[in-house]
Structure 1
């Protein structure tokens, strides 16, 4: 194979964005060969916009059975990601899914098992992993430059969303339609980067989620979570869609200093000697280790969505290592599931997560929902998969 024929399932906002750069020839070794959507008007729009050669289908089965595609790009609403991926993998398709991996880990684990059995390339659109800032952070931690991680704090409150945003589609911010709020919609990238950059998952989580605190919605729009790691480190994750102006500050303290990412800058407060060594040898009473403020240079561009898609295609054609293996989507989702479950049960949640309990609790909220809203008809088009 010297060219990957990609079929996109779901022509909402994200599916359309991905289709545009594929149709524009921006991904080496790939073409957009087909699109799949239940809405005939979106299929016709795709042919008119991207070329009459585009094959159109109203069902995923028809597309993956057509012989016209080698890989499927899943850009459907959240609940459908695992099912679409599983069906595509079982038919021999390579698969790239939009984030999140799904709504609940029990469903995503089945998807991961299907991917393993298929032997096909499976990736997830964690495009923030291509950001040089977070790549440098991961490098500094994994190389030992920061020393053992002792504390992580991420305040990510610049996800401001107005009531009109939530009213733009009937499925938004509902348990049945979206499966959650800020954690499942806005924060999947940060939850992924949180564990990816430091190289470990928490051992347990205690979270406080607030549902419809700032907006007329039934899902979480403000969260404060405290975590404990296997090595004794602690962490804090604070997020909301109801705060303006917001903050995006990620702080990691280690034995050799502290790293902060804020305002697209990475700053390393580097200790001349490790804190543990200073504490063991210093005899002067009051005092602290000598510290150097280092502005770490960041090189390279941030290819974002295109970077993950190009990497996916290169993995198919050349065997290139994936930046964001699809199987890793379950990690960030585990964190968000655990935060919700901690709130629902008013308790600490140990990891690995009790997946059956989370699923049962989620279904209880879907069945018990009395929440209704009416989206304006002209706002319903082209909303699936938007953030």
Structure 2
């Protein structure tokens, strides 16, 4: 195969965003051959903006079944992600799936099982994994430079969204339309990076989600979660869409120091000896291990969406290892599902979660929402 013939399903903001760099020829080995969308507006847009040789399909299934397509980029609403990916696997199509992997982990687990037996290349559009800052953090953790992880703390509150934003679509911020709020729509990248960079998933968590806080919406828009790791470490994740100005600060503390990523910089407060070793030998009551503050040089370009797409194409053509394997999409979703379930149950939640219980509670909220809208 010289080129991968690619189709895009969904011509919303993300679909058009991917088309922008693809049409500029910024992904080698990719040939755009088709798009699909169910709306008349998308059909008109495609007619005006896409080359004539790019086929337009009015139904996703038509694109998936087309013999002219080798791989599919899925950019549709959240609930349809696993369903469309599974259809692609059935027809031997490679898949690049927009975040989130789905709305609930039970559905995503079924998708992963279908992918495992398909023989195709399956990747997630986790474009933040292309950011050299987070790649460097992962390298420092994986190499042992930071020691054993003691604490993680991510404050990601610069997702400000007005009521006008939520009112711009009747499906927005509803259980039936999106399946969640800030955890599913704004913060999936941070939830992915939170566990990917430190190679740790919590063993249990306790979360406090607030629904429709200072906004007329159904879903969560203010969240604070506390997690415990198997190694004894702990973590905190805070996110919201109602703060201005917001913060984006990620701290990771280990036995060899602390790393902080903020304002596009990575600062490493490095201990000359591990805290564990210092504690064992010190005879001082108020001393501390010697610490050096280092502005770690970050090299490389943040290629974002384009980089993930190129990596997917390279994996298809050259067996290049995937940076964001599709099967890993369940990890961040497991965290968001667990945070909602913890709030709904007003209790701790063990990971992996009870997937049937989560789905039952989600469906209950969908039904309640339908009744309210019916009364209106």
**Corresponding residue pairs, total:** 373
User: Which residue of structure 2 aligns with residue 118 of structure 1?
Assistant: 118
Runs (4+) off by over 4 Å? 370-373
3-state SS, counterpart of residue 197 of structure 2? helix
Quick one: higher RCO (CA 8 Å, sep 6+), 1 or 2? 1
Superposed CA deviations along residues 157-177 of structure 1, whole A, max 9, x for unmatched, are 001001111011111000000
Contact 1:47/1:53 (CA < 8 Å) preserved in 2?
no
User: Normalising by structure 1, what TM-score?
Assistant: 0.95
> What is the distance in 1 between the residues matched to 2:45 and 2:24?
15
> What is the distance in 1 between the residues matched to 2:295 and 2:233?
25
Superposed CA deviations along residues 50-99 of structure 1, whole A, max 9, x for unmatched, are 21111111112211222111001100000000000000111010000100
Q: Does 1:165 align with 2:150?
A: no
> What is the distance in 2 between the residues matched to 1:227 and 1:250?
15
Q: Does 1:293 align with 2:293?
A: yes
User: Which residue of structure 1 aligns with residue 153 of structure 2?
Assistant: 153
> What is the distance in 2 between the residues matched to 1:50 and 1:82?
27
User: Which residue of structure 1 aligns with residue 211 of structure 2?
Assistant: 211
User: Which residue of structure 2 aligns with residue 324 of structure 1?
Assistant: 324
Deviation of 1:45 after TM superposition, in Å, equals: 1.9
> What is the distance in 2 between the residues matched to 1:47 and 1:8?
15
Contact 1:153/1:236 (CA < 8 Å) preserved in 2?
yes
3-state SS, counterpart of residue 116 of structure 2? helix
> What is the distance in 2 between the residues matched to 1:64 and 1:180?
28
> What is the distance in 1 between the residues matched to 2:40 and 2:114?
30
Contact 1:209/1:340 (CA < 8 Å) preserved in 2?
yes
User: Normalising by structure 2, what TM-score?
Assistant: 0.98
RMSD: 1.0
> What is the distance in 1 between the residues matched to 2:246 and 2:62?
45
Q: Which runs of 5 or more residues in structure 2 are unaligned?
A: none
> What is the distance in 1 between the residues matched to 2:67 and 2:362?
38
Q: Which runs of 5 or more residues in structure 1 are unaligned?
A: 374-387
User: Which residue of structure 2 aligns with residue 100 of structure 1?
Assistant: 100
Superposed CA deviations along residues 22-57 of structure 1, whole A, max 9, x for unmatched, are 122111000211000111331232233121111111
3-state SS, counterpart of residue 368 of structure 1? helix
Superposition map of 1:130-279 within 5 A: 130-279=130-279
Deviation of 1:104 after TM superposition, in Å, equals: 0.2
> What is the distance in 1 between the residues matched to 2:204 and 2:351?
6
> What is the distance in 1 between the residues matched to 2:176 and 2:197?
32
Higher deviation after alignment, 301-310 or 363-372? 363-372
User: Which residue of structure 1 aligns with residue 348 of structure 2?
Assistant: 348
User: Which residue of structure 1 aligns with residue 91 of structure 2?
Assistant: 91
